[in-house]
Amino acid sequence: MGKFVKIPIMGFMLFCVLAMVIEAENMKYKDPKQKLGVRIKDLLKRMTLEEKIGQMTQIERKVASAEVMSKYFIGSLLSGGGSVPKPNATAEDWVNMVNDFQKGSLSTRLGIPMIYGIDAVHGHNNVYKATIFPHNVGLGVTRDPELMKRIGAATALEVRATGIPYAFSPCIAVCRNPRWGRCYESFSEDINIVRSMTEIIPGLQGDLPANMSKGTPYVNGKTKVAGCAKHFVADGGTVNGLDENNTIVDSKGLFSIHMPAYYDSVIKGVATVMASYSSLNGERMHANTHLLTGFLKKRLNFRGFVISDWEGINRITNPANANYTYSVEASIMAGIDMVMVPNNYTDFIGNLTMLVNKNVVPMSRIDDAVKRILRVKFVMGLFEDPLGDLSLAKHLGSPEHREIAREAVRKSLVLLKNGKTAEQPLVPLPKKAAKILVAGTHADNLGYQCGGWTITWQGVPHSNLTVGTTVLDAIKKTVDPATQVVFNEEPDTNFVQSSKFDYAVVVVGENTYAEVNGDSSNLTIPDPGPSIIQNVCGAVKCVVVIISGRPVVIEPYVEKMDVIVAAWLPGTEGQGVADVLFGDYGFTGKLARTWFKRVDQLPMNVGDPHYDPLFPFGFGITTQAVKGN
């Protein structure tokens, strides 16, 4: 009797093995030789609703674990501003953390890898020892698309060095009012400069191959990252420059000022687009079906995915979270594909599941969103190579990248005034001087130099936030060894007058801020900046270097200052400031923003009928390098 039992069992086992082999052979989504469309279609048909909605969910690393990733099929993780594995984390710390989460995703039935995103908006700015490039407000001054491409490539390498494949960059807003707290994230008030700066996208992602159709996302392997054009659309045009406010603009203004950089980004293969917190003519962008789906996806043929901003869907209602179920419905139906939840993910998953089961959100909309997310993941090679490794760790803060950042600092400086008269220029400064004064709150402060979105969300107003060169350090390295450099952060007039300085360099400016915390109605240099200018410049020849995320009020002090340099937010490589001040390189920067006289003129942009600037758009005094100074 026993013999008869064994044969069917053996046969059944053989059948199971054969079935598994056939199934594996039919798993076309796992085969990189298959066409992209075939892989997407094959995987999508295998997915349950639960797995699909998981792909549409992005959560903060603080609420994640390998178990959460596998249980809820989470499609994406992010680090918000300042969200790090531990203080001063190394590349290895980052890689290990990301890989632990990824292993949770890979352990699921279908093994769909998650995509980890981070704000790398001026270099890999959350990460200790990373190269911090100038913020966009300075980079626009360079008018150098090739430099932007190199910055993108360097940033991609540093992001990949920490095991992360997705950067929420670039911001292609056109800031039309410097009162806006995000103005430093904008390259210019002029759309032509912003458009040219989208060359950072092929830097981040790689050059789109000639045979790829326009609008298809493209990421060229493990040294590149998926980019994100943001914030769609017109976030730089809000009323009074208030963050997350309403932009009132007609169709001509929208499509001639705020939209064109998105055409370029899509043509260059940008992988993702982030919706804006702001409203357009009263309609929240996170719920704007006409522009997210009708224009971006259908008209521009954008085939990557649209991601929400942090709790962006919650803010569709006023007040926020007034009706979360409605917010989920409105955002998904408008065309948001992935939701940056980022914390209460069970609420989001539960609401969207219920809306699909009740046929309020059709399965076709879910499938469209998931196809787009999978397309990006397949294109960037995440299925073949899901884990970060330490082979790229050497690129984090590398000398080569710091050299690019230093070049960017040099090219982003704008010389607004040089000498009390044009016949008596003061810069280039002589390196050989008996005694010079360096003064000001921002002279020896890396935190102020880097600005917001550096190590933490709001930035760190202290010198020791990361590794870099302050302006004071740079001056000491640049002057003749015999020159005495005296640093006094807040000198009084008596000190300056009695100390017999040859000249002084005063470095003052704005405090650190990000987003709404930076909204300003007065745009003044905070105390003690103005009093330092008065005390020093009234007593000795002075160069004033202004560290700021935008033009600020300086008209009352212009006469008193011998030299005025707009240095914006230069980042970690302060040596670039000294390079130009002392004539190793010439000043070449031209204003990419209008420098106003008074805030009551704002908004005021080049071409406006009431245009009456202190320094016009495009202004900048050029100097020549001095040999043997």
The three-state secondary structure class of 83 is coil
**Do 498 and 536 touch, CB atoms closer than 8 A?**
no
Q: Is 245 left (phi over 0), alpha (psi -120 to 50) or beta?
A: beta
Q: Which of these is catalytic: 199, 515, 519, 573?
A: 515
Q: Which of these is catalytic: 51, 243, 309, 329?
A: 309
User: Can you tell me which residue has the tokens 């929208």?
Assistant: 254
DSSP 5-37: HHHHHHHHHHHHHHHHHHHHHH-GGG-TTS-HH
Backbone angles phi, psi at 13, to 5 degrees: -65, -40
Task: Verify whether residue 515 is a known catalytic residue.
Answer: yes
Strands (E), 84-227: 115-118, 166-167
Q: Give the tokens for residue 494.
A: 């008596």
Q: Give the tokens for residue 12.
A: 């059944």
DSSP 571-626: TTBTHHHHHHHTTSS------SS-B-S-GGG-S--TT-TT---SB-TT--------
For residue 414, which of 121, 149, 133, 143 has the smallest C-alpha distance? Answer: 143
Q: Give the tokens for residue 605.
A: 């942009």
Alpha helices, H only, 84-144: 91-106, 136-142
- CA-atom Rg of the chain in angstroms: 27
User: Can you tell me which residue has the tokens 């003749």?
Assistant: 480
Euclidean distance between CA atoms 293 and 246, whole angstroms = 20
- If you ran DSSP here, which 8-state letter would residue 297 be given? I
DSSP 322-384: SSHHHHHHHHHHHT--BEE--S-HHHHHHHHHHHHHTTSS-HHHHHHHHHHHHHHHHHTTTTT
CA dihedral 132, 135, 136, 140 (to 10 degrees): -90
Euclidean distance between CA atoms 579 and 485, whole angstroms = 16
Backbone angles phi, psi at 519, to 5 degrees: -55, 130
Give the Cβ contact number of residue 492 at 10 Å: 13
Kindly list the distances between the CA atom of residue 609 and the CA atoms of 601, 612, 613, in Å, as whole numbers in the listed order: 11, 9, 12
User: Can you tell me which residue has the tokens 């995915």?
Assistant: 305
Euclidean distance between CA atoms 455 and 466, whole angstroms = 8
Task: Verify whether residue 309 is a known catalytic residue.
Answer: yes
Q: How far apart are the first and last CA of the chain?
A: 103
Euclidean distance between CA atoms 20 and 13, whole angstroms = 11
Q: Give the tokens for residue 390.
A: 């330490």
Euclidean distance between CA atoms 116 and 89, whole angstroms = 17
Angle in degrees, 0-180, between the axes of helices 324-334 and 345-357, rounded to the nearest 10? 70
Strand order in the sheet with 272-275: 228-232, 272-275, 305-307
Catalytic residues: 309, 515
